[in-house]
């Protein structure tokens, strides 16, 4: 039941608030580790962006992170 409740809850949020916070978190992580996680970062960012473009749901974006 919790999954369904969470899904209903997240759909009430305005567009990508959660995605923005994810982007900001990754941006902070990258600034503290500029060389180390570049490839992983690009992969995560492109994956989250493509998910947001194709689906636009915060729930999918959250699971992608």
The model's pLDDT over 14-50, given as tens digits with 9 standing for 90+, comes to: 554 555 666 666 667 656 665 555 666 665 556 555 5
The residues spanned by each domain of the chain are: 2-64
Q: What is the pLDDT of residue 39?
A: 65
The pTM of the full predicted model, rounded to 2 decimals, is 0.20
Q: Tokens standing for 5?
A: 């409740």
Rounded CA separation 48/65 (Å):
7
Rounded CA separation 36/48 (Å):
20
Rounded CA separation 41/1 (Å):
33
3-state secondary structure of 33: coil
């Amino acid at each position: 039941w919790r999954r369904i409740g969470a899904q209903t809850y997240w759909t009430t949020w305005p567009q990508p608030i959660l995605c923005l916070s994810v982007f900001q978190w990754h941006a902070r992580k990258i600034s503290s580790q500029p060389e180390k996680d570049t490839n992983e970062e690009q992969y995560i960012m492109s994956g989250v962006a493509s998910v947001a473009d194709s689906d636009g749901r915060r729930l999918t974006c959250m699971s992608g992170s």
